[in-house]
Structure 1
Amino acid sequence: MIFNFECTEHGCPKNDILSGLTVALALVPEAVAFAFVAGVEPLVGLYAAFMVGLITAIIGGRPGMISGATGALAVVMVALVAQHGVEYLFAAVVLMGLIQIGVGILRLGKFIRIVPHPVMLGFVNGLAIVIFLAQLESFQVKDAAGVSSWLEGEMLWLMLGLVALTMAIIQYLPKLTKAVPSSLAAIIVVSLIVIGFGLESRTVGDMASIAGGLPEFHIPMVPFTLETLWIILPYSVIFAAIGLIESLLTLTLIDELTETRGRGNKECVGQGAANLATGFFGGMGGCAMIGQSMININSGGRGRLSGITAAISLLIFILFASGLIEMIPLAALVGVMFMVVIGTFEWSSFRIMGKIPRADAFIIILVSGVTVATDLAIAVVVGVIVSALVFAWEHAKHIRAEITEGAMGSKIYDLHGPLFFASVKNFQDLFDPKNDPDDVVVEFKNSKVMDHSAIEAIDTLAERYMNAEKRLHLRHLSAECQMLLSKAGDLVEVNVIEDPKYHVADDRLA
């Protein structure tokens, strides 16, 4: 791959490199923390952050997006590791990668477009809350028995002061100069203050040592049997779904922020290739990281070089600079992440709550709450389902009929609106077979038959008129609907002149 080292609309090398270095510093404690959550060694998380970040930066579909080990995946991994061990996790990550590559090849990434805007708002707000809550662990200490308690006294005030200083530098430095990313400057300044004055502040090294060697090729040590496949398959499917949903939603968010467009299917393949490789090199797998991606975008990182720099810098930290990185105060990194929370949360959602439909406001709150309580994938699925049900309920009210009198005393029902599963009850209530004349016409020119439930409703209506010994004419009904009318027989006349060009969703036509 050839990189253009001149500033273009797709990125500036200087900004990408400095931004990537900032991201790498923020990746270290996150990767270590997520490794602990998953129940694996810190290096398993760090290797995942390096390999997933590097491969997706090179071949992924969204330049500027940062990928690595994430909490959304870690909370699901813990059960597999606890029951079967870390080798089964590596095997599950390999299978996860294959599934994601398949999704990309089949071009299924486009389905992220069906996520409604209220669900996107809820996703962003919920994820901002999750990032905020994750930082609160840095305000706790564990005693010899492993029991956590909140910081108190001077330690608490020192932590709060350093966090506030970090946030202040990030907020106000860009008003003076943009030569250096404000997040990187804040980390360096706060670190120098803590080291120079000998302040007793917790550091990255207090979490775990990050020193290690190069990741080595390693085939997962599991039996290659069907039994193993059935153990890892459910986890791999869940990993793949969570990873792709989080990655594609993050991609959409960055598209909006940068006013550019990523390639969803290419990102699916990139994420899959990254996880496939990571599973063979002792990593826990990963996906896009919205927090680090926001740090990168806000620091000026736009091109692939920013993600590559972050990944390579992380490897350099592991190999050569672990001692220096372990001296960085956690307060500086917490301050950076707090600014990410402030920048990520859609504060405008409070302002628009009273101006949007109540159902949309409810969906925003619901998705935010489910994201915090469970995980991102479940929250998005719940949000899409509720949005679809609300849409169906609202459109069920739109079907109506204009009734006129035709030739020879016939009665004409001119339908308007979609006929589908949610509107069939209202559709049936429009007709009165008992009191209608002997000749009835139902005009479908201004209506659209959407699904099999609609076909069944038409069939039932035809049967009602047949039982009343009355003649029913169905005009401008599609040929598919004509094929599926099974109960009415010859007593119903189906006129398909000017046949509408739509297809009915019905598996009996397959």
Structure 2
Amino acid sequence: MKSGFPGHTRHPHPFRAEWAPNIPRELMAGAVATFALIPEVIAFSFVAGVDPAVGLFASFVISLVIAFTGGRPAMVSAAAGSVALVAAPLVHAHGVQYLFAAGVLAGLVQILFGWLRLGVLMRYVSGSVRTGFVNALAVLIFSAQMPHLIGANAATWAMVGVGLVIIYGLPRITTVVPSPLVCIVVLTMAAHWLQLPLKTVADLGLLPDGLPSFGLPQVPFSLETLRLIALPAFAIAMVGLLESMMTASVVDDLTDTPSSKNRECAGLGAANIAASFFGGIAGCGMIGQTVSNVRYGGRGRLSTLFAGAFLLVLMVLLKPWVSQVPVAALVAIMVMVSASTFDWGSARALLRHPKLSSAVMVATVAVTVVSDNLAAGVAVGVLLSGVFFTFKVARLLDVEKSGEEQLTYRVSGQVFFASSDLLVDAFDVRDIEGKPVRIDLGGAHFWDITAVNALDKVCQRLRKHGSTVEVVGMNAQSRALISKLDLGIE
């Protein structure tokens, strides 16, 4: 099996192939993913309104657990911006302990999703909804940076500008070191040497100084608690599943290998429960870090495991230095993440794409931004996709009339609840005037009870007005459905 990326070799032993096809390359790829994780995990933590330790502990635990339980080797999962945005309102309203409780419940939902083999449902999320989801995520990430910029001093704006120059300019010179990491190093050193009046990571909250410890969420075990966390937990679960499934599909394409989507759903749930019990925020697949891991040769579960373990080691060892990172550097990184997340091609293609598809994408973005809820936007997008698809399929029904003394109606297309009225309206008893009628269903398929009842209604109406009715050409599936209802259609 070939791949467009280096480091891919075939190994006869299944365990070696799944975990570490090439151990040195797995470790290097995991390390690169770790350096890409550090700035974003800290940035996502302050988006969610929690201490950086909460995001870092989560990323360590999630990577550790999902390396064993996930369904997609080489995929990096950690505290993510999409989940942080969904979790932020709960944290602001009720505190971080309720976030941990919601993470446990979200994990249970994701495990149930996997056990019921509902990963297949992601196939019904249309491309327009996925694009809308990504674009809405980009808008929300960008808007979350505004409180740090509006009313900020000149030094903050200047540092953000310098950070963006480094992030976008350095890759033109070299890609050996991730430019966001260089941005953090340079801006931290500049802020220290120049004694600039800037807010730092230490002002955001506590950084870890050791391994996370196990503990149950400190919330009342009551129906009131369940009421408070139910909707946020469901939103976290759905957003996490959607982003993880999208990330898994990206890795499938990059490596030309399959993955178990249902196992990934259950594995993510187990990882999020573990993260919540160890004082971390729930997370999901990280598209940017996963692509970095794969591009540098990560193919097995070892790269995922090492990315999380190396992250915690670096955070504990570098705590004094990381605490001095200016928030302006994180803002610059999140602006870059927002810009790179947004699908700019979709904006240019709005007028070229079918109007209904564009409407679905725009509606997904609009609902998400207005409600500040990614799950709500996806739900509306999926609903609109279903409605528009039903509308288009219903219009494909065609009834052709021929003959003079004996009338023949040839029905072609899909007959279901949305097109059944069109079938009934095609038979005008005033034009038939008691003539014998032959209904040819050779090109039609009946899908539901509404469709069968519509055919029965046509037959009864024609017979009531003196016509004899013959129904021919019905396929086996439609005939089986009609026979179950025992309507006497012949």
User: Is the shorter-chain TM-score for this pair beyond 0.5, marking a shared fold?
Assistant: yes
SS at match of 1:417: strand
Alignment of 1:21 onto 2:42: no
Equivalence for 2:327: 330
1:333 and 1:186 mapped to 2: Cα distance? 9
1:6 maps to amino acid: N
- Choose from 418, 429, 432 the match for 1:433: 429
Question: 1:483: which partner in 2?
Answer: 483
Can you give the 5+ residue segments of structure 2 that lack an aligned partner in the other structure?
A: 1-14
**Conservation of the 8 A alpha-carbon contact between 1:23 and 1:296:** no
Does the 8 Å CA contact 2:160/2:332 hold for their aligned counterparts? no
For the residue of structure 2 that corresponds to 1:441, the secondary structure is strand
- 1:450-489 matched pairs, under 5 angstroms: 450-477=447-474, 478-483=478-483, 489=488
CA apart distance, 1:460: 1.6
> Is contact 1:70-1:286 (8 Å) kept?
yes
Whole-angstrom distance in 2 between the partners of 1:236 and 1:158: 36
What CA deviation, in whole Å up to 9, does each residue of 1:283-317 have, x standing for no partner?
A: 33222344554665677766544433332233224
Question: 1:205 — aligned with what?
Answer: 202
Instruction: Give the Å deviation of 1:27.
Output: 1.3
Which amino acid in the other structure matches residue 119 of structure 1? V
Count matched residues: 469
User: Could you say which residue in structure 2 is the equivalent of 1:275?
Assistant: 272
Give the C-alpha shift of residue 392 in structure 1: 1.6
Residues 1:344 and 2:346 aligned together: no
Q: State whether residues 20 and 301 of structure 2, in contact with CA within 8 Å, keep that contact through their aligned partners in structure 1.
A: no
Answer yes or no: is 1:123 the counterpart of 2:123: no
Matched, 1:419 2:415: yes
State the alpha-carbon separation in 1 of the partners of residues 173 and 285 from structure 2.
28
**Aligned partner of 1:30 among 41, 44, 53:** 44
Is the 1:45–1:283 Cα contact (8 Å) retained in structure 2? yes
Structure 1 counterpart SS, 2:160: helix
State the 1:274 CA deviation: 0.6
SS in 1 for 2:443: strand
2:390 counterpart residue number: 392
- What SS class does the counterpart of residue 243 from structure 1 fall into? helix
Distance of aligned partners of 1:97 and 1:42 in 2 relative to their CA distance in 1, 3 Å threshold: same
Task: Determine whether 1:112 maps to 2:122.
Answer: yes
With 86-95 and 202-211 compared, the bigger mean Cα shift is at 86-95
Hey, what's the Cα distance between the residues in 2 that align with 1:242 and 1:360?
21
Residue 4 of structure 1 pairs with residue 2 of structure 2? no
Deviation at 1:461, TM superposition (A): 1.2
Give the direction of change, closer, same or farther, for the CA distance of 1:297–1:380 in structure 2 (3 Å limit).
farther
Question: Percent of counterpart pairs with the same letter?
Answer: 34
Letter in 2 for 1:4: A
Q: For residues 336 and 75 of structure 1, what CA distance do their matches in structure 2 show?
A: 16
Q: 2 CA distance for matches of 1:250 and 1:103?
A: 17
Counterpart code for 2:41: L
Q: CA deviation at 1:447?
A: 0.7
What does residue range 237-386 of structure 1 map to in structure 2 within 5 Å? 237-256=234-253, 261-290=258-287, 292-293=289-290, 303-373=300-370, 374-386=372-384
User: Is the 2:202–2:324 Cα contact (8 Å) retained in structure 1?
Assistant: yes
CA deviations on 1:265-291 (whole Å, 9 max, x unpaired) are 121011111122123223332223445
Deviation at 1:449, TM superposition (A): 0.9
Q: Is the 8 A contact 2:20 2:302 kept in 1?
A: no
Provide the rounded CA distance (Å) in 1 between the counterparts of 2:144 and 2:252.
Answer: 26
Whole-Å separation in 2 of the counterparts to 1:179 and 1:83: 42
Q: 1:395-410 alignment to 2 at 5 Å? A: 395-405=393-403, 409-410=405-406
Give the Cα–Cα distance (whole angstroms) in 2 for the partners of residues 111 and 343 of structure 1.
27
Amino acid in structure 2 at the alignment position of 1:150: A
Greater Cα shift, 83-92 or 259-268:
83-92
Change over 3 Å in CA distance of 1:135–1:313 after alignment to 2 = farther
**For the structure 1 residues 195 and 304, does the alpha-carbon distance in structure 2 shift closer, same or farther, using more than 3 Å as the test?**
farther
CA 1:192 to 1:311, structure 2 compared with 1: closer, same or farther past 3 Å?
Answer: same
8 Å CA contact retained: 2:160, 2:329 = no
| Cα distance between partner residues in 1 of 2:220 and 2:327 | 41
- The structure-2 alpha-carbon separation of the partners of 1:293 and 1:357, relative to structure 1 and needing over 3 Å to count, comes to same
Partner deviation per Cα, 1:147-177 (whole Å, 9 max, x = no partner): xx2333x4422431233223211x3133xxx
Equivalent in the alignment of 1:52: 62
Residue in 2 aligned with 1:498? none
TM-score scaled to structure 2, two decimals?
0.83
Q: Give distance in 1, aligned partners of 2:331 and 2:217.
A: 35
Partners of 1:108 and 1:209 in 2: how far apart? 38
Task: Specify the code of the residue in structure 2 equivalent to 1:420.
Answer: F
269-278 or 426-435, which moves further after superposition? 426-435
Asked if the contact 1:397/1:423 (under 8 Å) is kept, the reply is: yes
Partner of 2:172: 172
* Match of residue 5 from structure 2: none
SS class of match (1:412) = strand
Contact 2:115 2:262 in 1 (8 A): yes
How far, CA to CA, are the matches of 1:80 and 1:200 in structure 2? Answer: 31
| Contact 2:30–2:307 under 8 Å retained in 1 | no
Tell me the alpha carbon deviations over residues 439-467 of structure 1, each in whole angstroms, 9 at most, x when there is no partner.
Answer: 21111110111222212211221221232
CA distance in 2, matches of 1:330, 1:309: 27
Distance 1:257 1:370 in 2: 32
In structure 1, C-alpha distance between the alignment counterparts of 2:255 and 2:141, rounded to whole Å: 22
Amino acid at match of 2:40: A
SS of equivalent residue, structure 1 residue 283: coil
Is the 8 Å Cα contact of residues 131 and 291 (structure 1) preserved in structure 2? no
Task: Give the Cα separation in 2 of the matches to 1:434 and 1:482.
Answer: 27
Asked if structure 2 preserves the Cα contact closer than 8 Å seen for 1:204 and 1:330, the reply is yes
Provide the rounded CA distance (Å) in 1 between the counterparts of 2:105 and 2:29.
36
Change (3 A) 1:166 1:302: farther
1:84 to partner: Cα distance? 6.4
**Distance between the aligned counterparts of 1:232 and 1:336, measured in 2?**
30
Q: What is the match of residue 143 of structure 1?
A: none
Of stretches 409-418 and 325-334 in structure 1, the one that deviates more from structure 2 is 325-334
> Per-residue displacement from partner, 1:391-437 (whole Å, max 9, x unpaired)?
2212222111232339xx42211111111122122212211223324
Deviates more, 1:460-469 or 1:212-221: 212-221
User: Structure 1 residues 351 and 76, CA, compared in 2 at 3 Å: closer, same or farther?
Assistant: closer
Which has the larger displacement, 424-433 or 211-220? 211-220
TM-score for the superposition, normalised by structure 1: 0.80
- Range with greater deviation from structure 2 (354-363 or 278-287): 278-287
Question: Partner letter of residue 163 of structure 1?
Answer: L
Secondary structure at 1:150 match in 2: coil
